[in-house]
């Protein structure tokens, strides 16, 4: 790359080889304005695509479908949990309400009984 630059400098010298005729830029803006005024503006009609026309409706439909799907899944999960709890009550022979509280589920998960929980809470 440097060899090419050296060759060009030796051949052409340091002078700028590009020249502009005298007074070229004096009338340049007026010539450009004349050329611009000769052309007429053309209005191009823009067509909106199907997606852009109904974008809001599609977003609303997606939100409704998501809400319906989430509700159906929630109801099914709740139904399965209540059936599992009913099976646990029947299997254990208890006559309680059949639904665990959050604390009872946590105690079953960590395999702690009331004595262990009281000891933990009291700091012993």
Beta-carbon neighbour count of residue 100 at 10 Å? 16
Tokens read off for 50: 């199907």
In this prediction the pTM is: 0.32
Residue 90, Ramachandran bin (φ over 0: left; ψ between -120 and 50: alpha; else beta): alpha
Whether 61 has a pLDDT exceeding 90, the answer reads yes
Contact 122, 108 (CB under 8 A): no
103-117 tens-digit pLDDT: 777 767 777 777 877
Domain boundaries, the chain: 54-93, 94-124
Contact 100, 85 (CB under 8 A): yes
């Amino acid at each position: 790359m440097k060899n090419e630059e050296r060759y060009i400098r030796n051949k052409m010298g340091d002078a700028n080889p590009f020249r502009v005729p005298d007074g070229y830029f004096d009338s340049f803006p007026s010539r450009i304005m004349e050329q611009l005024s000769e052309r007429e503006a053309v209005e191009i009609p823009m067509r909106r695509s199907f997606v852009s026309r109904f974008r809001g409706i599609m977003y609303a439909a997606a939100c409704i479908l998501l809400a319906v799907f989430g509700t159906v899944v929630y109801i099914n999960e709740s139904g399965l949990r209540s059936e599992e709890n009913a099976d646990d009550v029947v299997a254990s022979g208890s006559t309680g309400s059949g639904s665990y509280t959050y604390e009872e589920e946590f105690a079953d998960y960590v395999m702690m009984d009331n004595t262990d929980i009281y000891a933990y809470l009291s700091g012993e």
